């Protein structure tokens, strides 16, 4: 302390202004933490706060081209969670994931294993539509994925269905091709939630010959869920 006081007197004698680091206010510290870490910004948020955070999000450039964010829909305490890639044009207009032709096929796929759409929770890796339905950029996923992680934490599903390559790879943090991810039980998050991977409905509309494989994936998911129910 004596050295600091001596230094201060020397500087004052020289006519040099002293710059003192001020304490960072709590609000500023929280904002800095949020900017530095998207995960820290959403951890602990309840459903209304999370929805508001997503609605106002400007973390990446997609907010400039979206009509609205697509938060997710369904049962907030569902046993099953469906994860897709990103909103398309229909989703961007309506603010709901998996609508239009792909949504109709998804509904049929879920109904085939006795899951009404309203009984599951449906969300996407991205909450905003990429222009021209292009693949999400890594930086967009990095900013948006914490929202999905928080949704999973709130829903606490017993099983997750990942539809499509982009959804599966980003959810699982891998670049393994979708074909090699199918047919296995993967795990997500601190609760080791089982994840089953299958084809995206939009892909199946373009490639109907793969629908049989998707049906096998759905039956596999149903079997895994049944085993979990027995264990519980």
Say which range, 180-184, 189-193, 217-221, has the weakest mean pLDDT. Answer: 189-193
Name the band, by pLDDT with cuts 50, 70 and 90, for residue 34: very low
Q: Is there a domain that residue 11 lies in?
A: no
pLDDT at 229: 80
What would the mean pLDDT of 217-225 be, rounded to a whole number? 98
CATH number of the domain bearing residue 199: 3.40.470.10
Q: What is the pTM of this model?
A: 0.82
Please check the confidence at residue 31 and state whether its pLDDT lies above 80: no
- Asked whether residue 126 is domain-assigned, the answer is yes
Rounded to an integer, the average pLDDT of 118-125 is 98
Count of CB atoms situated within 10 Å of the CB of 49: 12
d(CA 63, CA 56): 9
Question: Does position 2 have pLDDT exceeding 60, yes or no?
Answer: no
What is residue 38's predicted lDDT score, i.e. its pLDDT?
Answer: 63
In a domain, 223, yes or no: yes
Share of the chain above pLDDT 70, in %: 82
For residue 63, the model assigns a pLDDT of 97
Q: How high is the pLDDT of residue 7?
A: 54
- Tell whether 132 is covered by a domain: yes
CB atoms within 10 A of CB 219: 12
CA end-to-end span of the chain, whole Å?
A: 63
User: What pLDDT does 41 receive?
Assistant: 79
- For residue 26, is it within any domain? no
> What are 124-164's pLDDT values in tens digits?
999 999 999 899 999 999 999 999 999 999 999 999 999 99
Confidence grade of residue 112 (pLDDT, cut at 50, 70, 90): very high
Res 36: pLDDT: 45
Please provide the average confidence, as pLDDT, over all residues in the chain: 88
Residue 9: inside a domain, yes or no?
A: no
Range of the domain at 80: 38-231
* 100 C-beta neighbours (distance < 10 Å), count: 16
Q: For the chain, what is the domain count?
A: 1
Is the residue at 4 inside a domain?
no
Q: What are the phi and psi torsion angles at 197 (to 5°)? A: -105, 135
DSSP track, the chain: -HHHHHHHHHHHHTTPPPP-PPPPPHHHHHHHHHHH-HHHHHTT--HHHHHHHHHT--SSGGGGT-SS----EE-TT-SEEEEES---HHHHHHT-SS-HHHHHHHHHHHHHTT--GGGSEEEES-SSPPGGGPPPPHHHHHHHHHHHHHHHHHH--SEEEEESHHHHHHHHT----HHHHTTS-EEETTTTEEEEEE--HHHHHH-GGGHHHHHHHHHHHHHHHHHHHHH-
Residue 158 in any domain: the answer is yes
């Amino acid at each position: 302390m004596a050295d600091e006081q001596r230094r201060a007197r020397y500087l004052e004698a020289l006519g040099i202004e002293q710059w003192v680091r001020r304490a960072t206010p709590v609000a500023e510290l929280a904002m800095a933490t949020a900017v530095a870490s998207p995960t820290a910004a959403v951890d602990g948020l309840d459903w209304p706060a999370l929805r508001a955070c997503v609605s106002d999000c400007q973390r990446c450039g997609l907010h400039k081209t979206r009509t609205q964010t697509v938060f997710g829909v369904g049962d907030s305490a569902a046993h099953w969670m469906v994860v897709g890639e990103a909103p398309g044009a229909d989703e961007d207009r309506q603010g709901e994931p998996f609508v239009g032709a792909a949504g109709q096929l998804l509904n049929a796929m879920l109904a085939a294993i006795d899951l009404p759409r309203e009984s599951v929770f449906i969300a996407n890796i991205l909450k905003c539509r990429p222009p021209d339905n292009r693949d999400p950029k890594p930086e967009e996923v990095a900013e948006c994925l914490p929202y999905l992680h928080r949704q999973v934490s709130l829903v606490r599903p017993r099983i997750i269905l990942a539809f499509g390559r982009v959804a599966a790879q980003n959810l699982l943090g891998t670049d393994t091709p979708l074909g090699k991810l199918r047919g296995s039980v993967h795990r997500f998050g601190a609760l080791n939630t089982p994840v089953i991977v299958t084809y995206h409905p939009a892909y199946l509309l373009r490639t109907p010959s793969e629908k049989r494989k998707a049906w096998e994936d759905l039956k596999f998911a149903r079997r895994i869920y049944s085993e979990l129910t027995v264990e519980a």
